[in-house]
Amino acid sequence: MRLATFIQDDEPEVGAVMDDGRIVPLSHIVMDMIDLISRWEEVEDEVRATIEAATDIETVPLESVMLLAPVPQPGKMMAIGLNYADHIAETGLETPGHQIWFSKQINAVNGPFDPVEIPKVSTFVDYEAEMVAIIGKGGRHISKADAPAAVFGYCVGNDVSERTWQNRTSQWVLGKSFDTHAPFGPWITTADEVGDPHDLTIQGWVNGELRQNSNTSHLVFNVWDQLAELSQVMTLEPGDVIFTGTPGGVGVAMKPPRRLEPGDVVRVEIERLDMIENPFVAET
């Protein structure tokens, strides 16, 4: 199932995206995406029945709505660094002995096709194609064996990074948390539809040029490792957003380095999860 947050008139709604390009609204069942995820065991049968029974009159064309980030206001948004072997190699750094975590603040959340700002104070904005995991049941002290059951689904994401701010201290949070710098979507593909999340082609394009081309099988710490690590520290809650790492091919590692400029368009595509595409614009 593919579940989206969208605006048709004025208020955000939750809906199921059909194969024929229509959306079945689900707002009569749930208030928002976190409500849906939190109550999934309770509402799943009603959601599936609503989708099955929906007529054309009860659906809306996908092209007539604006897609928002599937979880517009997650409780937490965490991201892991240096988590693909080819990305580690291009940085010249050693493979981490422990997972390197940072938070992307909630102000960075952005829609799958919305503009991304190049900040006024920026000198080097970069892209990072990433698979995003959305927490379902969550919990604390989740074992690797239990981790698959803790994930509700997956999205396509771009961990946009302001490299100068990221690297001027040992703490990456500011460089990773500028407004609009966490586009993800276009919807949540539920975990049952994805199957193994560790064998998906992941690609990143800049202005039509393929820059990143890898597979999630190359994660150093896979999704189950990540949830086991994080949940030792914090309770993972429904709707929390986890950026799982980027492969090689980022702009800062190119020779010479190539930063993003106003007018550039970055597209990220992941097998089975579809794609997001964001124009980059100067902050006004």
pLDDT at residue 284 is higher than 90: yes
DSSP at 18: P
Mean pLDDT of 89-97: 90
- pLDDT category at 241 given cuts 50, 70, 90 is very high
Give the H or E element holding residue 36. helix 33-38
What is the reported pLDDT for 93? 86
What is the reported pLDDT for 145? 98
Sequence-ordered list of residues with C-beta below 8 angstroms from that of 201, at least 6 positions apart, any chain: 213, 214, 215, 270, 271
What is the reported pLDDT for 9? 82
CA dist., res. 159 & res. 182, Å (int): 6
220-230: per-residue pLDDT in tens?
999 999 999 99
Mean pLDDT of 112-122: 98
- pLDDT category at 55 given cuts 50, 70, 90 is confident
Residue 193 — φ and ψ, nearest 5°? Answer: -80, -30
Strands 60-61 and 241-243 turn out to be unpaired
pLDDT at residue 65 is higher than 90: yes
CA dist., res. 156 & res. 162, Å (int): 20
% of the chain beyond a pLDDT of 70: 100
pLDDT at residue 43 is higher than 90: yes
| The token pair that represents 222 in the structure block | 């896979």
- pLDDT category at 10 given cuts 50, 70, 90 is confident
pLDDT at residue 57 is higher than 90: no
166-219: per-residue pLDDT in tens?
999 999 999 999 999 999 999 999 999 999 999 999 999 999 999 999 999 999
Q: State yes or no: cis peptide before 256, omega within 30 of 0.
A: yes
Instruction: Please tell me the least confidently modeled range out of 84-88, 99-103, 124-128, 187-191.
Output: 84-88
For residues 1 and 193, the answer to whether their CB atoms sit within 8 Å is: yes
Q: Is 229 helix (H, G, I), strand (E, B) or coil?
A: helix
Mean pLDDT of 251-274: 98
What is the reported pLDDT for 54? 92
Mean pLDDT of 126-140: 97
What is the reported pLDDT for 107? 98
pLDDT at residue 268 is higher than 90: yes
% of the chain beyond a pLDDT of 90: 95
Q: Return the domain boundaries, the chain.
A: 2-67, 77-282
What CATH number belongs to 77-282?
3.90.850.10
| The token pair that represents 29 in the structure block | 């069942």
